[in-house]
Amino acid sequence: MKKEAAEKAAWWKESVFYEVYMPSFKDRGGQPGFKGLRSALDYLGELGVKGIWLTPFLQSPKVDNGYDVSDYRMIDPVYGTLDDFKVFLREAHERGIRVIMDMVENHSSTEHAWFQEARKSKDNQYRDYYIWTDSPNNWESFFGGTAWELDSQTGQFYYHQFDVQMADLNWANPKLVEEVLAVLRFWLDIGLDGFRMDVINFLSTDGIGPDNPLRDGKQEHLHDIDRPGVKEAIRKIKSAVSEYPDRFIVGEVGSDKIEVLSSYQSEELLDLVFNFNFGSIPEFSAKRIFDELLSMEELMPGYPSLFFGSHDMPRLMSRLAENQPARAEALAVLMLSARGVPFIYNGEEIGMLDAVARTFKDIKDIQARTQYALALKNGCSDADALVVANRHNRDKSRGSMPWDHGENPILKVYKKAIALRNAGPVFHYGTYTDLSFRDGCIYFTRKYKEVLVKGYFNFGETAIEVVLAPGEKVLLGSEILQPDGYLVVQVN
């Protein structure tokens, strides 16, 4: 295997992160926001996580659950105040838990003061903070429909890659860039440990490009993402963040090409890139999971990300485990013992299932609501439009965190696996000396200095007996690997 050189130490490589979906995460008393999160810190500390990723909590009309920011320096009142955040941050740090926040730099809400000023006139000083044209090209929104909206006040169209109420920022404007960097410094000055950068390769850095081509009747997003100036913009972001010691940036890069993902991960760009080829596998396949692990190991120059759930995809238990607790446990142990940085989505550790909208009124997700409207426009019945909406509905994984789970067996496995990972640098920095797949079973051997660990994950149909050699000891799991069984062994 490659990557035998010693990994450069970093706190984030030694951390298990826990994603908190702010709109639905509440404490045991049903309290949302930072006061609720403060009371959940003991739970997270007992779970063993060393990092918390907070989804957007800034002021927002919440067209897209906070990913439409109307003030980059203001906490949304539903989550508390800036002082509440500071207290939460201090108490997290006292427990040895770092905190990163979602930062949305690709677009702002149309309610943001910048946009409200920009639409007043064509010569307004904020006009070029956004992208305007008299003659739109054919670019489509990633939520569906055209990416251009006519503004009646000035008679020009503005660009929105997502919802019409989320206008894209113009990264070709140096003044806008400085504004955004100042926002990052504001939060870093408070003590934040880093950022998760939303759709970072979508930044509009080069104005309006040519029409996108059509392939099989669908638009191929060729000219509206991964623009030539994007990496230079990320370098500026990284340079600003690096003014502060021990900070961390993880990026959401929208691509299914491993070479594109890897091109954004380096010391001068992003510390880590989410690989959705691994994280959002649509249905269970042990071979596909192995192939993605191997692909990251062979084709990505930096550290991999490891996750099976997030607020944008169906739940692990429903999607991959198929409501089988043993498989959910095996997948959790694999994620927490393989090479990379693990991210747990809130609720995965107790086996939460998908929520399904029964009526249109039950849908909060703007992507699903947009698809519902488009389906009706295209002649679908209400029932068929609801089916289409649920297919795209990200509300599946956004239900409230339940606390009455008692002695949850899946939670026990998560705690044991996280404790094991936290206990030894072989799980932080160990390289693979073997990563293989046979008869439905994923095997690996990791080495750090003189320490070796072996992992066995049986997703096949028959049981496998593992015979331990002298000097080998079981760290987690059983030597008889039933289907969906696992075993982690240390070699002295």
Residues with a catalytic annotation lie at 198, 252
Residue 399 CB burial class (10 angstroms; 0-12, 13-18, ≥19): middle
> Which residue carries 């997700």 as its tokens?
365
Cα–Cα distance measured from residue 74 to residue 247, given in angstroms and rounded to the nearest whole number = 22
Q: Classify each residue of 192-224 as buried b or exposed e, where b means 16 or more C-beta atoms within 10 Å of its C-beta.
A: bbbbbbbbbbbbbbeebeeebeeeeeeeebebb
Q: What is the DSSP string of 95-161?
A: TT-EEEEEE--SEEETTSHHHHHHTT-TT-TTGGGB-EESS--S-B-TTSSBSEEEETTTTEEEE-S
Contact 474, 487 (CB under 8 A): yes
For 166, other C-beta atoms within 10 Å of its C-beta total 25
Cα–Cα distance measured from residue 391 to residue 395, given in angstroms and rounded to the nearest whole number = 11
Strands 166-168 and 71-75: unpaired
